[in-house]
Amino acid sequence: IQAQILDILKRLRQERNMAVMFITHDMGVIADVSDRVIVMYAGNVVEEAPVTQFFKNPLHPYTKGLLKAIPRPDMKNERLYMIKGTVPGPEEQYAMKGCKFCDRCEHALPKCREERPAMKDMGNGQKTACWLYDDGKGPAKARQ
């Protein structure tokens, strides 16, 4: 049924030259129907990219965690990847000055707790809000 609905939406999109916005955690749907992807964490946009760039070179640590958590057929006896910790509650989010993902981030810098990063243009139509890329390039190991 899902595939049929997606096919109808894709056909209507083409016929009527319209945009469709999907809100989903289903990476298969994203890969199948999206031109652009916007990733949000706790109500904040953390990454934006063309869909091919999104899967080829994710930048934000939350995006990388989402993609690492996708089940794969070759992982039959392995546990799925989990991003450590939990999403902060509304009161915690309100009180946070910095990045809302910093308590769960493997790469958090001291600056992450103090100041929320702005979206940075990383080229190729990709943007991210992360202090790892403060210079517009980021450390090589952060891009892997």
What are the structural domain ranges in the chain? 35-143
Read off the pLDDT of residues 10-63 as tens digits, 9 standing for 90 and up.
Answer: 999 999 999 989 899 899 899 988 999 999 999 999 999 999 999 999 999 999
Q: Are 9 and 1 in contact (CB under 8 A)?
A: no
What's the pLDDT score for residue 60? Answer: 97
Number of continuous H segments (helices) and E segments (strands) in the chain: 7, 4
Instruction: Tell me how far apart the alpha carbons of residues 120 and 122 are, in angstroms, rounded to a whole number.
Output: 6
> What's this model's pTM, rounded to 2 decimal places?
0.85
74: burial class by Cβ within 10 Å (0-12, 13-18, 19+)?
Answer: exposed
**Structure tokens belonging to residue 52:** 């091919």
